[in-house]
Structure 1
Amino acid sequence: MKNIYYILSIVTISLILACSNTTKSQETSVAVENNTVTEKETAEGWIQLFNGKNLEGWEVKINGFASGENAFNTFRVKNNSLVVSYEN
């Protein structure tokens, strides 16, 4: 009977360790060398939505604020990426 409890304990501990998330989350970023639309893509109807530098061409709309008002700098460009942050 002791062997059953011993084996069951080892299996339970193994399952707990296997299911626990002990790895740190890592942010990954992809370097974009050419953030433009080619002539071929333009001919196919593609348009560039984000230039990777600023919010030019974007109109921010946050509930409770006027259209175009980027309250608290919620929408911003960081490392060539469009970032939304609700921290001041």
Structure 2
Amino acid sequence: SPYATWQGNLLLVLEENGSTEDVLLAINNGVVTVAPVGETDHVIRGGQALAQLIVGSEAPAEIVEMTGIEVSGDAGKLLPVLFPAQWPQMGNQGL
């Protein structure tokens, strides 16, 4: 990946019913850790649609476009690396 050596912080912001929850990911040469929340230019901000990124139900760019998730800084470039499309399937037992 061209972002294998990317270094910086990525802030994930969940906004729901007037409240927010923040998680800061510290990324250093392919190693991702959760860090204390702080300022960064690289932000992914949205509502419950953020779960679609985590599950990988579609390509990240499609999810962002369809749901209005906001990205800034390098966040848009990091989306397909951190949240690749998985196209999960439900087994017959779940139907």
> Would the TM-score normalized by the shorter structure come out above 0.5?
no
The structure where strand makes up a greater share of residues is 2
TM-score relative to the length of structure 2: 0.20
Higher-Rg member (1/2)? 1
TM-score relative to the length of structure 1: 0.21
